[in-house]
Chain A
Amino acid sequence: MAKILITRPNHDETTNYLYFWTSSVIKEITKKNMTVYDLSSEKATQKNLVNYLKHDPDFVFLNGHGSVNLIAGYENEVLVDTNNTFLLSKTKIVYARACQAGKVLGQHLIKTGVKAFIGYTSSFVFLRIKRFLTHPCDDFLARLFLEPSNLIATTIAKGHSANEANNRSLNAMRKNLRFTLSSAAGPEEQVAASYLWSNINCQVLFGNSEIKIF
C-alpha cells in the first residue's frame, strides 16, 4: 500500500487556501485505500515531519510558504531546507506547492536521494475573490490555479509517473489560460491570464521523470 505524507499549515490567508484546496486531494486519495499522513494546521511542524518520515512515505506533498532553499510549515517554521534534505532521501516523489523551492532546494533533494521533484522556480501565484475567504473551495478564480496544481498530487497518487503528473497539470493550466483569454471569461477571470502564464513557466520537474509510487 502506497504511503503519502502531506503538510498543509493554515496560519494566514494564502496557506488557508492551500489547506482547504488540499482537502479535495486527501478525499480522492483516501478513496484509493492509501495510507495518508496528514500534517494539517498546527501539526505541520518539523518535529512531526521528522517522525512521520520514519514511515518512509512514497510521496510527500508539501504546501506552505517557501523560498529558494526552504519550505515552511505552521507559523512559517522551517520544515525542509538544504541542511536536512537527507530526511527525505527514501521518498520517491516530492511535490512542493510553495514559492521558489524549485530553484535550489529541489536539486538538493534529488542529490540526497529523492527520485523526482516537482515545484516552482519562482513564486507560485494565485488570484482569489475576497468574498470567498471563509469558503475557499467555492472560489471560481482560485480554482483556475489550484485545481491544476491539485492534479499533480492526484495523478501521482493514482500511480502515474512524475512526468505524467507534471504534464497533466501544465495542460490543465494551459486550458485555463486559454479560457481566460477567451470572450467567455468574466472580468475577474480575464485578469488571471498573466499569473497563470507565470506559474506555467516556473513549474519544474527534476530527477527521474518516469518514477511512480507503485
Chain B
Amino acid sequence: MSDIIKQLVEERLKVLPIDVAVSIGDATYSKDELISHVQKGDEIGEQISNIQINFLQDLAKGAMYGENTDN
C-alpha cells in the first residue's frame, strides 16, 4: 500500500467520532487502534484500507445510487 493511500485512509479514519467502535472480524476497534493498524499495514489495516478505497472509487462512479433490486 502506498504512503499516499495510507495517508488518505488515515485522514478518513480521523473523522470517526471518539464514541464510535468498529466491529470487524473477531474484534472491536477504536479510531486510534484502526489508524495504528493502517500505519502498520497488517491484515486489519489492509481490510480497513480496502473498505475505504473501494468506497471512494465506487462513490466517484456513482455506483451506490443505483436502482434497488427487485424482489
Contact = CB atoms under 8 A, between A and B. Distances in A.
A138 interface: no
A178 B21 CA distance: 21
A126 interface: yes
Contacts of B19: 129-131, 188
Contacts, number: 87
Per DSSP, chain B at the interface is mixed
A168 B58 CA distance: 22
Interface in A1-35: 12-14, 17
Interface residues of A, number: 37
A99 interface: yes
Per DSSP, chain A at the interface is helix
A128 B16 CA distance: 11
A141 interface: yes
A198 B71 contact: no
Nearest to B31: A191
Given A123-B25, A167-B71, A171-B69, A194 B52 contact: yes
8 contacts: A65-B26, A127-B21, A128-B28, A129-B20, A130-B20, A141-B20, A167-B69, A197-B51
